[in-house]
Amino acid sequence: MSSAAQPPEAARARRPTLDAVAARAGVGRGTVSRVINGSPKVSAHSRAAVEQAIAELGYVPNRAARSLVTRRTDSVALVVPESETRLFSEPYFSAIIRGVSSGLSGAGMQLLLVLVRDESERARLATYLTEQRVDGVLMVAVHRDDTLPDLLDELAIPTVLAGRRGHPEPLGHVRADNGGGARAAVRHLLEGDRRTIATITGPLDMDVARARLDGYREALQTAGITVDEELIAVGDFTEEGGRAAMRELLRRRPHLDAVFAASDVTASGAVLELRAAGRRVPDDVAVIGFDDSIVARHTDPPLTSVRQPIEEMGRTMARLLLEEIAQRGKGHREVVLPTELVVRKSA
C-alpha cells in the first residue's frame, strides 16, 4: 500500500494490471475484463474470485489502454470563451458548470474545461478536440459567426450548444425562453402603468440578445403600443455599456419611465446612471434586469429580474450530449426551458 517509503527519485509505483488480477484470481484476462465491464456471462464463482483479487490488489483499470481500443474517452469538453468568465455575472458560469457536472457524473463522464482566450487559440483548440480526447463538446456563449461549431459538425463530433447561433440551428442546443422572459418583464412594467418603456440590449450578434429584444417588441405590440426605435439602445452586457446606453436613452427620451435591460449587470449600470441624472428608481423609472444574478440581490434597490434555470440548462446540455454520443443523430435536438420573473424593488 505504502509507496511513501521509497526514495523520492523512484518512478511512481506501477499500478497492478489486468494480467496481475487474472493471475491472482486464477482466471484468464478475458474473464477479468468481463467482470469489470459487467458482462453477465461469468460464473458466480469466477466473479467472486476476480472481485476479491481486485480488492486485494487495489486494481483500477487504466483509462488510456481502454480508450485506445474502444475509441472512447469517456470525457467531454466544455468550451468557454475566456472573456465570458469575466462578463457573465454570477451565477451563470458556475451554475452551468454545476449543471453539466451533475448531468455527467452519473454516466461516469469526465469534464474537460477549455477556456478559449482568443482567435489564435481557437485553431489549437480544434486540434485538441480532434485528438480523440473527448467524446463530445459543449459550448457556451456561441456567437453568430462562430465557425467552431461548424467544424465540429463536419468532424461529426457530438456537440451541444448553450443557445443557438441563429435559427434554424442544425446542432443540438439548449436555451432559456428568452423571448418569454422579456415579454413577462415588459408586461410587468405595463401593469405598473409604465408607458415609455426603453430597453438596453446585449450584443445583437448573439441570439439571446436578439430574442430578448424581440420579446420586448412583441409585448409592446400585443399591448397595442407602437415600438419607438429611439427607446432601443444597444449594450454589451457590461456595466459600462449599460451606463453609456442609459445616458443615450436619457438624451433621446428624457421622459422615459421604465427600462428593460438584457442583463443584471447592464441594469445595475443603468440604475447608477439614472441616479446620477437625478431619477429615482423605481419611483421615476422602473428597471428590470435579466439573469437574476447575485448582482440583482445586492444593488440598491434590489433588481426585479428574469431568472433562467441555468443549472438545469447545464444538466440538460449534458443529457442531450450523452444521448447524442450514445446514438448519433437521435434524441431531440432542441430544448427550451422556461424563465421566471422575480419581482424585487426596482420595478
Partner DNA sequence: GCTACCCGTGGGACCGCTCCCACGCGGCAT
Partner DNA sequence: ATGCCGCGTGGGAGCGGTCCCACGGGTAGC
Residues of the shown chain interacting with DNA in the complex, contacts defined by CB under 7 A: 14-15, 17-19, 26-31, 33-34, 36-37, 40-43, 45-47, 59, 61-62, 65-66, 68-70
Q: Is 12 in the site for its own copies (CB under 8 A)?
A: yes
Q: Binding residue for its own copies (CB under 8 A) from 31, 159, 263, 268?
A: 268
Q: For DNA, which is the closer residue by CB, 45 or 255?
A: 45
Contact 146, 166 (CB under 8 A): no
Q: Footprint of its own copies on residues 88-127 (CB under 8 A)?
A: 88-91, 93-95, 97-98, 101-102, 105, 110-115, 117, 121, 127
CA 146 to chain centre: 16
Q: Is 71 in the site for its own copies (CB under 8 A)?
A: yes
Q: Is 300 in the site for its own copies (CB under 8 A)?
A: yes
Q: What is the CA radius of gyration of the chain?
A: 26
Q: What is the DSSP string of 245-313?
A: HHHHHHHH-TT--EEEESSHHHHHHHHHHHHHTT--TTTT-EEEEEE--HHHHHSSSPPEEEE--HHHH
196 contact choice in its own copies, DNA, none (CB below 5 to 8 Å, kind-dependent): none
Q: Binding residue for its own copies (CB under 8 A) from 130, 147, 221, 222?
A: 130
Tell me the β-bridge partners of 99. Answer: none
User: By rule CB under 8 A, what count of residues binds its own copies?
Assistant: 61
9 contact choice in its own copies, DNA, none (CB below 5 to 8 Å, kind-dependent): its own copies
Residue in the structure block whose three cell numbers are 443523430:
329
41 contact choice in its own copies, DNA, none (CB below 5 to 8 Å, kind-dependent): DNA
Give dist(CA 30, CA 38) in Å, integer.
12
- 91 cis-preceded (ω within 30 degrees of 0): yes
Closest approach of Cβ 288 to its own copies, in Å? 16
Contact 341, 176 (CB under 8 A): no
Give dist(CA 242, CA 334) in Å, integer.
31
Binding piece for its own copies, criterion CB under 8 A, among 45-53, 55-63, 228-236, 254-262 = 55-63
Q: What is the DSSP string of 196-262?
A: SEEEEE--TTSHHHHHHHHHHHHHHHHTTPPP-GGGEEE--SSHHHHHHHHHHHHHH-TT--EEEES
Give dist(CA 170, CA 154) in Å, integer.
12
Q: Is 3 in the site for its own copies (CB under 8 A)?
A: yes
Closest approach of Cβ 68 to DNA, in Å? 4
Q: Binding residue for its own copies (CB under 8 A) from 119, 145, 154, 191?
A: 154
105 contact choice in its own copies, DNA, none (CB below 5 to 8 Å, kind-dependent): its own copies
Handedness of CA 336, 338, 344, 347 (dihedral sign): positive
Give dist(CA 47, CA 39) in Å, integer.
10
Interacting residues with its own copies (CB under 8 A): 2-4, 8-9, 12-13, 15, 60-65, 67-68, 71, 73, 75, 78, 82, 85-86, 88-91, 93-95, 97-98, 101-102, 105, 110-115, 117, 121, 127-128, 130-133, 153-156, 268, 294-295, 298-300, 328-329
